[in-house]
Every structure is written in C-alpha cells, then in structure tokens.
Structure 1
Amino acid sequence: MARFDHVGISVPDLEAAISWYCGALDLTAAPVFAIPGTDLRGVMLLHESGYRIELLHRPSARPGLAPASALDAAGTLGFGHMCLCVDDVDGEFARLTEAGATVRMPPQAAPRPGARMAFVADPYGNLIELIDRK
C-alpha cells in the first residue's frame, strides 16, 4: 500500500521561499540539507495536518512552466498544481493574496455540488488550488 508523502518544488531563492511558504501556509521548516557532491540544497516544510512540501534549490536551475491558469497548466505535461483542502476557500484565498500570492482564479463554485475552489500562484508562479469538499 502506498500513500502520498510530499510535493517537491524547485525555487530560485531557498531562504525567501522558506519564509514565504512558512508564513503563507503555516508550515514549519526542518533543517536545510545539501546533497554531497552537488549544488543542490533543500528543506522539508511540514504542516500540522501532515502534508509536506519540499523546496529544492540549484543555482543553475532554469525557469519552467509558469501557467496563468489551471487550464494552461493542464496543457503541458508534468506538474500542474498542488491542492490544499481548506475549510474556508474565500478566507484562505484572501490570506494568501495578502501574503503575496497572485490571483489565478478567484473563489467560485467548484464542479462538485456545494464545494468552492480558487487558484493562486506562489511568488515563483507555481499554482496552488484551494478547495473545500463540503
């Protein structure tokens, strides 16, 4: 049996990304690690509910997909977005945009009856979906 463990995101500035993710998503950073013999550094960020985000940094990394919407992300193979299940999509959307996330889709009804959803992007263009599953 398998279960999802974490998502890894490559970022251009590890310390700035740690600060943003910990502040915006209420995560706690484990110690920063380095992979011997490489220029790769990273950190695991932990949420009290159990989800984890691993931030990775290589100075030579190049920008990749920075989709303007979830539809754009689905038009490119590979990582499209991560999704956080929240109790209050509108409140979480407001909190994240105040923390510097950019609007990709304002809160609205989700395809699932009674649910709401929204999309924001982190400071590096990675999409974050917010959804309630009422």
Structure 2
Amino acid sequence: MTHRFDHVGISVPDLIAAVMWYRAALHLTEERAFAVPGTDLRGVMLRHDSGYRVELLHRPGAAADGPVQAAGTLGYGHLCLAVDTPEDVDAEFARLVAAGAGVRTGPRPAPREGARMAFVSDPFGNLIELINRTA
C-alpha cells in the first residue's frame, strides 16, 4: 500500500470570503461545495493544478484561534507550500502579502541548512509556510 497527501481541512469563519481569497491567492479552483446532512457544517473543496487540495470548512459559532494559538495547540499548525528556488520564497511571500496575507515570519534561512522559508497567514489567521529545500 502506498500513501500520498490528498488535502488539508481548514476551519474558517467566513466560507465565501475564504473561498475567494484561497482561489485568488493560491490559484486554486473549486471542485465542489458540500453540506453535511443533519449539521450546520458546510464546506468547499479547492484544488491546485499540481494536485493538492484545500478543504475550507465553516460551522457557525466555531471559535477561531489566532496564529500564535495555532502553533501552541495540538493538531493542525500550518499548511506548507514548496517553491522551486530560494528566490521564489521571497517572491511568493511578497505576492501573498500583496493579496492580503498577514506577515508572520519574513523570508529567511530555515533551520535545515541551505533551505529558505517564510510564514504568512490567511485573512483568518491560518498559517501558510513557504519553503525551498533545493540547497
């Protein structure tokens, strides 16, 4: 049996705004919207051309933690996207900030020797890491 990454689910306080931001900022397309019968949970599955998916989930009244709390709690911490070159970390960081992402950690060397990384957050505080590991 083999395994491969399929998607990450992210809870958001405003499903429509989140879909619009993720589509524009990460160049994702909508695969399908859904509602879970018997609950007030709704969601939208988005897909990138490279194959990864982001499932945006919304449940009215759900508490939204900020990025500091996300890093200090068990479970989901961040979504990490690999870029092709060290220079792409800087360029993608700048592009996402211009698209409304929050600055969390500017481009810098990663703990792994030769790698470069940065962190932004979506408009709802969910962390997105950018990394290049080619060195």
TM-score by length of 2: 0.90
1:34 match: 35
In 1, distance between residues paired with 2:35 and 2:70? Answer: 30
- Preserved CA contact (<8 Å) 2:107 2:117: yes
Q: Aligned partner of 2:83: which letter?
A: V
Q: Deviations over 1:56-113 (max 9, x none)?
A: 11112122x3124xxx644322211110001210000000000000000000011222
Q: Deviations over 1:2-23 (max 9, x none)?
A: 2221100011111110000000
TM-score by length of 1: 0.91
Matched length: 130
Distance 1:20 1:109, change over 3 A: same
Q: Aligned partner of 2:89: which letter?
A: V
Does 1:82 pair with 2:83? Answer: no
Q: Aligned partner of 1:19: which letter?
A: M
Secondary structure at the aligned position of 1:50 is classed as coil
Moved over 6 A (4+): none
Please, what is the CA RMSD of the aligned residues?
1.3
